[in-house]
Structure 1
Amino acid sequence: MKRRKGVFLLWTVIVVAVVLLLLPSVFLGIRETFHRERIGEVVADEMFLVQEVLEIQKYNRVFHESVPYPTGEVMRNGRVYQVSLKEIRIDVDGVPLTELVCTVSANGKFSFSATLDMEVPR
């Protein structure tokens, strides 16, 4: 009978040791998952901001309006983003185009950029 109690105690110690060895890897995995989720949120915010700026610019140029668009420092979802818009005149096969380049960056770590080419009104 005493021998069985010792075996049970040994198994209990082994199980506790294995659990304690596995816990750090589980916590590190969860931490990495949350970190990647935050990065994904920042990238998604940047993409939506770039899309918003370019769509408003396209609307303004097509309908000759002056709807304001976000520039400079913009706050979204508790984070500050730097939005910049550049306008470059280019010629493609004799057709004058305006290339709009919008770049959004979050704290200088991540940035997303997109371009939109539009025909210059004559």
Structure 2
Amino acid sequence: MIESAADERLQKASTQFFSDTGVMALLCHHDHVIYLANMTSAGERQHYALALIKSLFGHLPYNFHIGLLYDIGCQLEQSCRKWGFLKSFLPHISFAISLIYHPQKCEGFGLSDGEGCEQYATSVSS
């Protein structure tokens, strides 16, 4: 599942027939939607996640720290460090992945299982 999510060449929705190919959501710890982004290009591109995170930090105090659960969070963190994305916010982010960096084993995530976004997507599509 992580490999297919990380493979930007894999096209899951056609841009030939639809202008939007999906939705990316940023949810709080209580699984309430904070931001939504219409995805207009095929594949799971990092710029959607970067835009959502940047928008979130625009409304938080500078000293705020967030825990970010994302299925390809390790890849996003590497890109941020390598290319300088979210440079000023990076010290204020703890990355976790529900499969590898289990959130219940990371400080500050409590009993989160990281499945809120999956449940939200299922409820929206049904």
Larger radius of gyration: 1
TM-score range, shorter chain: under 0.3
**If the length of structure 2 is used for normalisation, what is the TM-score?**
0.26
Which one has the bigger strand percentage? 1
